[in-house]
């Protein structure tokens, strides 16, 4: 689904991933092709074991594909002899990740959970703190900036986690079931928030979900089954599902 | 942002409790260095108290501490006439046990000639011995007070405490007491009345009391000590040992086994401490696996993770050491034996603690570096 005049932020070409060898070999991903453009929010759906998490891990640079090509914001990942440090830098500079559960560091308050990413990116203490507070305000949890993770509600914690994912203004935001621990009303609020971020930050957002209630929030939905992208007609390609 | 500090602050109670346990362990290690230092210092104190240049003892012996030595009482006059000897004094050494208020008291009696080398170094209370008989100067650890009377010897003579000293004990921890040479000779060589009567009845000769264990000599600074020692050793019945030789005999031979045992216990304690610190750090790292995975996931470099673990390990070690040191100094007065700390040994234990903490943290670091960032994705809180 190339779009003339626009460059994909995430480009996956003939990507494959297998585990084990010989008779124990398991093909987790087979010939995956997809593109996600700036400002888009796309869904990644499929039954358990279909390869959603494996694909997300590959895009998050924590799992090396067995074959194919992955390009993130113009950088061909794993192309040459990529080092662990290069992957770490890519994750820090260009990828924001929203976990299924907030995964906040329990020993840092809400502000520092956001600021820690900025520190790692080289921000000074004052600048990191100011920017973290701005982000929390933007996500409407500024009033909880001094709260420890254990003192936050599920929705508040998830917003802090989103703020952390956005802290370094990444071009790519990957979200693994971000609405799973939330009720439907809060799930919709989170999805609307992601859409706003995608537009305002010109970021590409890929959301792994099982939640049928939020399907209308996606620009496209990629469905995976047995490691392959499938269409309604059985062709192996992108299945666009209307705009949100 | 110091992640180690934040984590400690978040789990402060657990850190304090862990630290308390570790401080007890490190306190024992520090205490053992004090016991070790005390053992050596006490042993050398006996020899150093005499402020001698030469020790003249019975020929062929390493007396008077390592072996028994008995020489005639007039040896001092003979030694005084040797070229180079400025001053000389006769001394005797013996352990006695007496009973006070129904409780046994052990004392290490040193007999000396007032005004001559071999007497007490410095008094912390009271006065020097002025009378010829039945006065004593004793170390405070004996628990005796000025004016108190102590029965000693086979005739149960009452010795009056006229002076007190500080930190004058033997290598076995017995307090030192100084009495006049004549009193000491009587205590050491005089037979009890029944034994004396029996000896006379069987026609045996009653030995003279005029014997001593050693003569302490001060040598002129213009005469080589070795030269004077050689001159003294020409008498067939005498041997002259320098102060350095005497100290070597005491530290290397008299307390050798005790010293080695203390050293071995200290080494074992350091090993036990290292294992316990390693296990604590490993457990603390295990508790943070998910946080470490999350940090790695968001792009934290290995040095951030290593820094977190090493800083916590060092915090634990340093605070544990300081608390342990404070505990030892707090309870120091209650130890039955002297604990002697020289700055070098205190610094050495601190350095060992730091090295142990760094070594122990490698186990936690290995675990942390193995943590897969993908673990942050796994379900759970």
**Burial B80-117, CB ≥16 within 10 A → b, else e:** eebebbebbbbbbbbebeeeeeeeebebbbbbbbbebb
Cα dist from B213 to B47, B163, B176, whole Å:
13, 24, 16
pLDDT tens sequence across A89-100: 888 888 988 887
pLDDT tens sequence across A203-226: 899 999 888 878 888 888 999 988
The H or E element spanning position B107 is strand B103-112
% of residues, chain B, pLDDT over 90: 44
pLDDT reported for residue A241: 37
Q: Using the beta-carbon criterion (under 8 Å), do B297 and A62 form an inter-chain contact?
A: yes
CA distance B71 to B58: 6
- Tell me whether strands A172-176 and A95-98 are parallel, antiparallel or unpaired: parallel
User: Of A57, A88, A176, which has the smallest distance from its Cβ to B299's Cβ?
Assistant: A88
Q: What is the dihedral of CA A212, A218, A221, A224, to 10 degrees?
A: -60
pLDDT tens sequence across A159-200: 899 889 888 888 899 988 887 777 777 778 878 888 888 888
Residues of chain A positioned with their CB less than 8 A from the CB of B3: 105, 107-108, 116
Query: pLDDT-based confidence at A8, cuts 50/70/90?
Result: confident
Contacts (Cβ under 8 Å, ≥6 apart) of B291? A105, A106, A107
Q: Using the beta-carbon criterion (under 8 Å), do B1 and A128 form an inter-chain contact?
A: yes
pLDDT reported for residue A5: 60
pLDDT tens sequence across B66-108: 888 999 989 999 999 999 999 999 999 999 988 887 888 899 9
pLDDT tens sequence across B189-247: 776 677 767 777 777 665 667 889 999 999 999 999 999 999 998 888 899 999 999 98
How far off is chain B from A179, nearest CA to CA, in Å? 14
Instruction: List the structure tokens of B331.
Output: 């309870």
- Using CA coordinates, name the residue in chain B closest to A120: B300
pLDDT reported for residue B206: 57
pLDDT reported for residue A154: 82
In this complex, how many residue pairs, one in chain A and one in chain B, have their CB atoms less than 8 Å apart?
Answer: 72
How far off is chain A from B306, nearest CA to CA, in Å? 14
CA distance B324 to B332: 12
Res. A243: pLDDT tops 70? no
User: Of B1, B290, B291, which has the smallest distance from its Cβ to A115's Cβ?
Assistant: B1
Classify residue B287 as exposed, middle or buried by CB count within 10 Å of its CB (0-12, 13-18, 19+): middle
How far off is chain A from B14, nearest CA to CA, in Å? 13
Q: Using the beta-carbon criterion (under 8 Å), do A92 and B299 form an inter-chain contact?
A: yes
User: Of B11, B294, B372, which has the smallest distance from its Cβ to A105's Cβ?
Assistant: B294
Q: Give mean pLDDT, residues A75-79.
A: 80
DSSP H helical segments within chain B, as ranges? 3-10, 12-49, 75-80, 181-189, 193-201, 225-233, 243-248, 256-287, 289-297, 302-331, 343-370
pLDDT tens sequence across B257-309: 888 888 899 889 888 888 888 888 888 888 888 899 989 888 888 899 999 99
Q: Using the beta-carbon criterion (under 8 Å), do B301 and A85 form an inter-chain contact?
A: yes
How far off is chain B from A33, nearest CA to CA, in Å? 23
- Using CA coordinates, name the residue in chain B closest to A116: B1
How far off is chain A from B360, nearest CA to CA, in Å? 23
Query: pLDDT-based confidence at A237, cuts 50/70/90?
Result: very low
Res. B311: pLDDT tops 90? yes
> Which residue, chain included where needed, has tokens 């971000």?
A178
Res. A232: pLDDT tops 70? no
Would you list which residues of chain A are within 8 Å, Cβ to Cβ, of chain B?
Answer: 53, 56-57, 60, 62-63, 85, 88-89, 91-93, 97, 99-101, 103, 105-108, 112, 115-117, 119-121, 125, 128, 148, 164, 176
pLDDT tens sequence across A39-75: 999 999 888 888 888 898 889 888 888 989 899 988 8
Residues of chain A positioned with their CB less than 8 A from the CB of B13: none
Res. A1: pLDDT tops 60? no
Q: Using the beta-carbon criterion (under 8 Å), do A117 and B376 form an inter-chain contact?
A: no
Q: Using the beta-carbon criterion (under 8 Å), do B300 and A120 form an inter-chain contact?
A: yes
Q: Sketch out chain A's domains with CATH numbers.
A: 10-103+171-230 (3.40.50.300)
| ipTM metric | 0.79
User: Of B11, B291, B297, which has the smallest distance from its Cβ to A97's Cβ?
Assistant: B297
Res. A242: pLDDT tops 70? no
Q: Using the beta-carbon criterion (under 8 Å), do B10 and A148 form an inter-chain contact?
A: yes
Domain-by-domain residue ranges, chain B? 3-43+257-377, 48-254
């Amino acid at each position: 689904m190339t779009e003339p005049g626009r460059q994909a932020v995430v480009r996956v070409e003939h990507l494959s991933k297998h585990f084990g060898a010989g008779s124990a070999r398991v093909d987790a991903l087979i010939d995956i092709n997809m593109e996600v453009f700036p400002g888009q929010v796309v869904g990644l759906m499929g039954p358990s074991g279909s390869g959603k998490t494996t694909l997300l891990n590959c895009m998050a640079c924590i799992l090396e594909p067995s074959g194919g090509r992955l390009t993130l914001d113009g950088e061909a990942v794993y192309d040459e002899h990529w080092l662990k440090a290069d992957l770490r830098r890519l994750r820090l500079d260009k990828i924001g990740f929203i976990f299924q559960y907030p995964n906040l560091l329990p020993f840092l308050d809400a502000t520092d959970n956001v600021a820690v990413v900025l520190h790692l990116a080289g921000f000074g203490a004052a600048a990191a703190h100011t920017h973290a507070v701005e982000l929390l305000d933007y996500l409407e949890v500024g009033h909880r900036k001094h709260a420890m993770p254990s003192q936050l509600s599920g929705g508040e914690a998830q917003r802090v986690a989103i703020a952390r994912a956005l802290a370094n203004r990444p071009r790519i935001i990957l979200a693994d079931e971000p609405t799973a621990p939330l009720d439907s009303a809060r799930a919709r609020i989170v999805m609307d928030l992601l859409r706003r971020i995608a537009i305002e930050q010109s970021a590409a957002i890929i959301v792994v979900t099982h939640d049928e209630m939020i399907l209308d929030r996606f620009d496209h939905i990629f469905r995976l089954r047995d490691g392959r992208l499938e269409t309604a007609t059985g062709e192996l390609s992108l299945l666009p599902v209307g705009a949100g | 942002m110091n992640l180690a500090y934040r984590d400690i602050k978040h789990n402060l109670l657990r850190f304090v409790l862990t630290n308390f346990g570790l401080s007890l362990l490190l306190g024992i290690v520090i205490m053992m260095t004090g016991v070790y230092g005390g053992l050596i210092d006490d042993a050398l104190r006996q020899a150093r108290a005499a402020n001698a240049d030469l020790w003249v003892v019975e020929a062929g012996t390493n007396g008077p501490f390592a072996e028994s030595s008995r020489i005639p009482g007039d040896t001092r006059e003979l030694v005084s006439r040797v070229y180079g000897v400025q001053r000389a004094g006769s001394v005797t050494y013996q352990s006695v046990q007496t009973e006070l208020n129904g409780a046994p008291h052990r004392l290490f009696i040193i007999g000396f000639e007032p005004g001559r080398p071999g007497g007490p170094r410095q008094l912390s209370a009271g006065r020097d011995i002025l009378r010829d008989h039945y006065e004593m100067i004793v170390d405070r650890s004996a628990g005796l007070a000025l004016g108190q009377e102590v029965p000693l010897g086979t005739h149960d003579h009452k010795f009056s405490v006229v002076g007190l000293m500080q930190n004058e004990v033997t290598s076995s921890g017995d307090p030192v007491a100084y009495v006049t040479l004549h009193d000491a000779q009587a205590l050491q060589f005089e037979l009890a009345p029944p034994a004396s009567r029996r000896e006379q009845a069987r026609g045996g000769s009653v030995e003279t009391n005029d014997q001593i264990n050693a003569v302490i000599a001060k040598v002129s600074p213009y005469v080589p000590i070795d030269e004077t020692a050689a001159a003294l050793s020409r008498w067939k019945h005498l041997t002259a040992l320098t102060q350095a030789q005497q100290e070597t005999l005491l530290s290397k031979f008299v307390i050798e086994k005790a010293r080695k045992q203390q050293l071995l216990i200290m080494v074992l304690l350091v090993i036990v401490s290292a294992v316990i610190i390693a296990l604590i750090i490993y457990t603390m790292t295990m508790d943070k696996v998910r946080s470490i995975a999350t940090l790695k996931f968001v792009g934290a470099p290995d040095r951030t993770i290593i820094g977190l673990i090493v800083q916590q390990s060092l915090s634990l070690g340093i605070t544990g050491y300081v608390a342990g040191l404070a505990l030892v100094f707090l309870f120091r007065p209650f130890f039955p034996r002297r604990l002697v700390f020289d700055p070098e040994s205190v610094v050495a234990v601190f350095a060992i603690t730091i090295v142990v903490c760094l070594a122990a943290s490698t186990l936690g670091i290995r675990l942390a570096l193995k943590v897969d960032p993908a673990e942050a994705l796994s379900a759970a809180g």
